[in-house]
Amino acid sequence: MKLVFATNNKNKIKEIQSAILGKMEILSLDEIGFSGEIPEDYDTLKENALQKATYIATRFKVNCFADDTGLEIEALDGRPGVYSARYAGSQASAENNIDKVLMELKGESNRKALFRTVISLKFNNRDYFFEGIVKGQILESRTGEEGFGYDPIFQPDGFLQSFAEMSVAQKNKISHRGLAVQKLVQFLDGKIT
Ligand code: ITT
């Protein structure tokens, strides 16, 4: 089975290809000949994920999914949440976003946070959603070189490493995206057999 992953984020593709490991063929936007930005106009993860998947599915008439992800920090009333990509401004890098979070949490003892991923799947013209959550703590400073985005400052509960100290396979086993993808695969397995 072929499925297009509507994302411009190469790290997400790497993680999802590793999680799916040959169970189905994941096509990137490059592979279907799309380049450009997909709009994300909403203020919920579910609506943004649906918008991204719909944008590609309607233009290319393909089965397709998209993921929208946010980091929700308890002491910041759930911010950056759906605004995680551009938390420090419209041109912000991951470095800038992390700096802003660390500054806002300076002296804060409540470091609780969670990552949430919502996957929107357009399959045979119907919509399906899958959510994955991982709880953890925001570290005092960056640790590790792997991963992307906020990974160097997020330590999942039950582990002594940040996500940026884990391999893709280790992160996938416990991460927000890994858990959402497991649900997606389970659903599609049921459709194939
Ligand atoms: P697409 O919309 O093209 O898929 P994006 O990078 O804009 O790519 P999101 O809006 O879902 O993706 O992600 C919001 C930001 O949250 C993203 O820019 C990353 O910095 C961060 N992020 C997403 N998933 C993450 C993960 O697994 N680990 C750490 N940070 C993550």
CA-based Rg of the chain, rounded to a whole angstrom? Answer: 16
Q: Which domain holds residue 53?
A: 2-192
Report residue 23: phi and psi, to 5°: -70, -30
* Selected catalytic residue, list 68, 77, 127, 157: 68
Nearest 5°: CA angle at 192, between 14 and 186? 55
Q: Rounded to the nearest whole angstrom, what is the distance from the C-alpha of residue 108 to the centroid of ligand 1?
A: 25
- Residue 77 falls in the annotated catalytic set: no
CATH number at residue 19: 3.90.950.10
Cβ–ligand 1 distance for 65 under 6 Å, the answer no
pTM for the whole structure: 0.96
CA 154 to ligand 1: nearest atom: 29
Dihedral of alpha carbons 99, 154, 41, 25, sign: positive
**Total number of domains in the chain:** 1
- Report CA(150)–ligand 1 centroid distance (Å): 9
pLDDT per residue, tens digit, the chain (193 aa), is 889 999 999 999 999 998 887 778 999 999 999 999 999 999 999 999 999 999 999 999 999 999 999 999 999 999 999 999 999 999 999 999 999 999 999 999 999 999 999 999 999 999 999 999 999 999 999 999 999 999 999 999 999 999 999 999 999 999 999 999 999 999 998 886 5
